[in-house]
Protein backbone atom coordinates (compact mmCIF):
# COMPACT_ATOMS: atom_id res chain seq x y z
CA UNK A 1 0.00 0.00 0.00
CA UNK A 2 1.23 3.53 -0.81
CA UNK A 3 2.02 5.33 2.43
CA UNK A 4 2.73 9.04 2.53
CA UNK A 5 4.37 10.80 5.45
CA UNK A 6 4.52 14.59 5.64
CA UNK A 7 6.86 16.56 7.89
CA UNK A 8 5.46 20.06 8.34
CA UNK A 9 4.94 23.01 10.69
CA UNK A 10 1.25 22.98 9.67
CA UNK A 11 -0.04 19.40 10.04
CA UNK A 12 -3.62 20.69 10.36
CA UNK A 13 -3.59 21.61 6.66
CA UNK A 14 -3.69 17.86 5.84
CA UNK A 15 -5.44 15.97 4.34
CA UNK A 16 -7.22 19.11 3.05
CA UNK A 17 -8.05 18.58 -0.62
CA UNK A 18 -6.43 15.13 -0.50
CA UNK A 19 -9.36 13.97 1.63
CA UNK A 20 -11.98 14.94 -0.97
CA UNK A 21 -13.55 13.02 -3.83
CA UNK A 22 -11.77 10.00 -5.35
CA UNK A 23 -8.58 10.47 -3.33
CA UNK A 24 -10.51 10.61 -0.07
CA UNK A 25 -12.50 7.53 -1.07
CA UNK A 26 -9.25 5.75 -1.97
CA UNK A 27 -7.93 6.59 1.50
CA UNK A 28 -11.13 5.30 3.15
CA UNK A 29 -10.86 2.12 1.05
CA UNK A 30 -7.29 1.57 2.31
CA UNK A 31 -5.59 2.13 -1.07
CA UNK A 32 -3.23 4.70 0.44
CA UNK A 33 -2.45 6.30 3.81
CA UNK A 34 -1.44 9.77 4.86
CA UNK A 35 0.17 10.93 8.09
CA UNK A 36 1.24 14.50 8.84
CA UNK A 37 3.79 14.98 11.60
CA UNK A 38 4.53 18.27 13.33
CA UNK A 39 8.21 19.20 12.99
CA UNK A 40 7.95 21.03 16.32
CA UNK A 41 7.40 17.69 18.10
CA UNK A 42 11.13 17.05 17.54
CA UNK A 43 12.37 20.36 18.96
CA UNK A 44 14.50 20.03 22.09
CA UNK A 45 14.29 23.38 23.91
CA UNK A 46 11.41 24.74 25.90
CA UNK A 47 10.46 27.20 23.13
CA UNK A 48 10.26 24.26 20.69
CA UNK A 49 12.58 26.09 18.27
CA UNK A 50 12.80 24.69 14.73
CA UNK A 51 14.56 27.53 12.91
CA UNK A 52 17.45 29.95 13.29
CA UNK A 53 18.97 32.93 11.49
CA UNK A 54 20.90 32.32 8.24
CA UNK A 55 24.64 31.91 8.64
CA UNK A 56 26.36 34.64 6.64
CA UNK A 57 23.46 37.02 7.23
CA UNK A 58 20.41 37.97 5.25
CA UNK A 59 16.69 38.01 5.76
CA UNK A 60 14.45 35.30 7.15
CA UNK A 61 15.01 32.06 9.01
CA UNK A 62 16.33 28.62 8.09
CA UNK A 63 15.01 25.26 9.34
CA UNK A 64 17.60 23.69 11.63
CA UNK A 65 19.27 20.51 10.36
CA UNK A 66 19.42 18.67 13.70
CA UNK A 67 15.69 18.94 14.40
CA UNK A 68 14.68 18.03 10.85
CA UNK A 69 17.09 15.07 10.80
CA UNK A 70 15.56 13.80 14.03
CA UNK A 71 12.08 14.00 12.52
CA UNK A 72 13.15 12.21 9.33
CA UNK A 73 14.93 9.46 11.29
CA UNK A 74 11.89 8.89 13.52
CA UNK A 75 9.45 8.72 10.61
CA UNK A 76 11.66 6.90 8.12
CA UNK A 77 14.40 4.97 9.96
CA UNK A 78 17.28 3.49 7.95
CA UNK A 79 15.88 0.76 5.71
CA UNK A 80 12.57 2.53 5.01
CA UNK A 81 12.33 2.01 1.23
CA UNK A 82 10.35 5.19 0.54
CA UNK A 83 12.01 8.08 -1.30
CA UNK A 84 12.65 11.14 0.86
CA UNK A 85 11.48 14.25 -0.90
CA UNK A 86 11.96 17.93 -0.10
CA UNK A 87 9.51 20.30 -1.76
CA UNK A 88 11.76 23.03 -3.16
CA UNK A 89 11.70 25.65 -5.93
CA UNK A 90 15.30 24.58 -6.67
CA UNK A 91 14.22 20.98 -7.29
CA UNK A 92 13.68 19.02 -10.48
CA UNK A 93 10.33 20.05 -11.96
CA UNK A 94 7.58 17.52 -11.19
CA UNK A 95 6.55 15.51 -14.26
CA UNK A 96 3.83 12.99 -15.03
CA UNK A 97 6.62 10.42 -15.52
CA UNK A 98 7.95 10.95 -11.97
CA UNK A 99 4.36 10.81 -10.66
CA UNK A 100 3.96 7.38 -12.31
CA UNK A 101 7.22 6.12 -10.78
CA UNK A 102 6.18 7.26 -7.32
CA UNK A 103 2.69 5.76 -7.72
CA UNK A 104 4.13 2.29 -8.32
CA UNK A 105 6.47 2.58 -5.30
CA UNK A 106 5.91 2.09 -1.56
CA UNK A 107 5.05 5.75 -0.86
CA UNK A 108 7.00 8.88 0.00
CA UNK A 109 8.33 10.84 2.95
CA UNK A 110 7.82 14.51 2.12
CA UNK A 111 9.44 17.45 3.91
CA UNK A 112 7.68 20.82 3.62
CA UNK A 113 10.03 23.77 3.86
CA UNK A 114 9.09 27.15 5.35
CA UNK A 115 10.80 30.54 5.73
CA UNK A 116 14.00 30.70 3.61
CA UNK A 117 14.24 26.92 3.39
CA UNK A 118 16.29 24.12 4.93
CA UNK A 119 19.93 23.85 6.07
CA UNK A 120 21.86 22.29 3.15
CA UNK A 121 23.58 19.73 5.39
CA UNK A 122 20.38 17.84 6.19
CA UNK A 123 19.46 17.78 2.47
CA UNK A 124 22.81 16.12 1.79
CA UNK A 125 23.02 13.90 4.88
CA UNK A 126 19.51 12.45 4.44
CA UNK A 127 19.76 12.36 0.67
CA UNK A 128 16.60 14.42 0.10
CA UNK A 129 15.32 14.51 -3.49
CA UNK A 130 14.32 18.12 -4.20
CA UNK A 131 11.15 18.42 -6.29
CA UNK A 132 9.65 21.68 -7.58
CA UNK A 133 6.05 22.17 -8.72
CA UNK A 134 6.96 25.10 -10.96
CA UNK A 135 9.05 28.21 -11.49
CA UNK A 136 7.49 30.42 -8.83
CA UNK A 137 7.98 30.72 -5.08
CA UNK A 138 5.37 29.64 -2.54
CA UNK A 139 5.38 30.56 1.16
CA UNK A 140 5.75 26.93 2.20
CA UNK A 141 5.98 23.35 0.95
CA UNK A 142 2.53 22.22 2.13
CA UNK A 143 0.52 23.13 -0.97
CA UNK A 144 3.37 21.82 -3.14
CA UNK A 145 3.25 18.48 -1.26
CA UNK A 146 -0.50 18.33 -1.87
CA UNK A 147 0.03 18.95 -5.58
CA UNK A 148 2.65 16.19 -5.73
CA UNK A 149 0.47 13.71 -3.80
CA UNK A 150 -2.66 14.54 -5.79
CA UNK A 151 -0.80 13.85 -9.05
CA UNK A 152 0.63 10.59 -7.67
CA UNK A 153 -2.31 9.14 -5.72
CA UNK A 154 -4.80 9.37 -8.59
CA UNK A 155 -2.45 7.02 -10.51
CA UNK A 156 -2.58 4.32 -7.81
CA UNK A 157 -4.59 1.41 -9.25
CA UNK A 158 -8.18 1.52 -8.00
CA UNK A 159 -8.22 5.19 -7.00
CA UNK A 160 -9.74 6.44 -10.27
CA UNK A 161 -12.78 4.54 -11.51
CA UNK A 162 -12.19 4.34 -15.23
CA UNK A 163 -8.62 3.16 -15.69
CA UNK A 164 -8.38 3.78 -19.43
CA UNK A 165 -9.55 7.38 -19.20
CA UNK A 166 -5.97 8.08 -18.09
CA UNK A 167 -4.09 6.91 -21.17
CA UNK A 168 -5.15 9.80 -23.38
CA UNK A 169 -4.77 12.54 -20.79
CA UNK A 170 -2.43 15.49 -21.15
CA UNK A 171 1.26 14.48 -20.83
CA UNK A 172 0.54 10.72 -20.83
CA UNK A 173 1.64 10.44 -24.48
CA UNK A 174 3.77 13.58 -24.59
CA UNK A 175 0.83 15.62 -25.92
CA UNK A 176 -1.86 17.88 -24.49
CA UNK A 177 -5.32 16.38 -24.48
CA UNK A 178 -7.87 17.03 -27.25
CA UNK A 179 -10.96 19.17 -26.41
CA UNK A 180 -14.00 17.60 -24.75
CA UNK A 181 -17.70 18.14 -25.48
CA UNK A 182 -20.95 16.98 -23.96
CA UNK A 183 -24.66 17.72 -24.32
CA UNK A 184 -26.52 19.92 -25.11
CA UNK A 185 -25.95 19.46 -28.85
CA UNK A 186 -26.09 23.26 -29.34
CA UNK A 187 -24.61 25.68 -26.79
CA UNK A 188 -25.01 29.42 -27.42
CA UNK A 189 -25.26 28.71 -31.13
CA UNK A 190 -22.24 26.37 -31.37
CA UNK A 191 -22.69 22.67 -32.18
CA UNK A 192 -20.60 19.75 -30.97
CA UNK A 193 -18.10 18.98 -33.82
CA UNK A 194 -19.97 16.67 -36.20
CA UNK A 195 -17.23 14.04 -36.23
CA UNK A 196 -17.85 13.28 -32.54
CA UNK A 197 -21.49 12.38 -33.17
CA UNK A 198 -20.73 10.45 -36.40
CA UNK A 199 -20.29 7.09 -34.64
CA UNK A 200 -17.14 6.46 -36.74
CA UNK A 201 -14.63 5.50 -34.05
CA UNK A 202 -11.56 5.43 -36.30
CA UNK A 203 -12.39 8.89 -37.59
CA UNK A 204 -12.96 10.16 -34.04
CA UNK A 205 -9.60 8.79 -32.90
CA UNK A 206 -7.85 10.45 -35.86
CA UNK A 207 -9.61 13.78 -35.21
CA UNK A 208 -8.68 13.70 -31.53
CA UNK A 209 -5.05 12.95 -32.32
CA UNK A 210 -4.91 15.84 -34.82
CA UNK A 211 -6.47 18.18 -32.25
CA UNK A 212 -3.92 17.03 -29.64
CA UNK A 213 -1.03 17.67 -32.04
CA UNK A 214 -2.31 21.11 -33.09
CA UNK A 215 -2.92 22.18 -29.51
CA UNK A 216 0.50 20.98 -28.37
CA UNK A 217 2.21 22.70 -31.33
CA UNK A 218 0.42 25.98 -30.53
CA UNK A 219 0.73 25.98 -26.74
CA UNK A 220 3.62 23.72 -25.75
CA UNK A 221 6.05 23.22 -28.65
CA UNK A 222 8.65 22.30 -26.01
CA UNK A 223 6.76 19.01 -25.43
CA UNK A 224 7.06 18.07 -29.11
CA UNK A 225 10.77 18.87 -29.10
CA UNK A 226 11.28 16.72 -26.01
CA UNK A 227 9.43 13.91 -27.81
CA UNK A 228 11.66 14.19 -30.91
CA UNK A 229 14.74 14.09 -28.71
CA UNK A 230 13.50 10.94 -26.97
CA UNK A 231 12.94 9.04 -30.22
Binding-site annotation: residue ranges for S-adenosyl-L-methionine: 113, 133-138
Q: Where does this chain touch ligand SAH (CB under 6 A) — which range of 88-96, 163-171, 186-194, 195-203?
A: 88-96
User: Could you tell me which of 158, 133, 137 has the C-alpha nearest to residue 148?
Assistant: 133
Minimum distance between the CB of residue 84 and ligand SAH, rounded to whole angstroms? 13
Q: Examine residue 65 and tell whether it contacts ligand SAH (CB under 6 A).
A: no
Q: Which helix (H) or strand (E) holds 203?
A: helix 201-219
Query: Of the two residues 86 and 103, which places its CB atom closer to ligand SAH in the complex?
Result: 86
Sheet holding 32-38, edge to edge: 32-38, 2-8, 107-111, 84-93, 129-132
Cα-Cα-Cα-Cα dihedral of 64, 66, 72, 77, to 10°? 170
Q: Among 134, 157, 158, 179, which residue interacts with ligand SAH (rule: CB under 6 A)?
A: 134
H or E stretch covering 38: strand 32-38
Q: Is 92 in the site for ligand SAH (CB under 6 A)?
A: no
What b/e string do you get for 100-120 counting C-beta neighbours within 10 Å, with b at 16 or more?
A: eebbeeebbbbbbbbbebbbe
Distance CA 11, CA 135 (A): 25
The answer to whether 140 contacts ligand SAH (rule: CB under 6 A) is yes
Is 86 or 196 the residue whose CB approaches ligand SAH more closely? 86
Question: Does 137 interact with ligand SAH (rule: CB under 6 A)?
Answer: yes
Residue 17 binding ligand SAH, by CB under 6 A: no
Contacts of 218 (CB under 8 A, 6+ apart): none
Quick note: the x/- pattern for ligand SAH over 143-172, rule CB under 6 A, is: -x----------------------------
Least distance in angstroms from the C-beta of 39 to ligand SAH:
12
From 17-25, 42-50, 129-137, 165-173, give the range in contact with ligand SAH by CB under 6 A.
129-137
Amino acid sequence: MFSADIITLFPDLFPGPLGASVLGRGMADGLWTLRATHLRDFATDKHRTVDDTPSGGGAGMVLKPDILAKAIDAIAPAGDPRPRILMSPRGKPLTQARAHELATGPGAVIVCGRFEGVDQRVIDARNLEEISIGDYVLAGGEVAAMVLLEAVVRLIPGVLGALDSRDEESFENGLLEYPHYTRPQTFEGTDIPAVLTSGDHAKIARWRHEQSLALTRARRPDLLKADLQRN
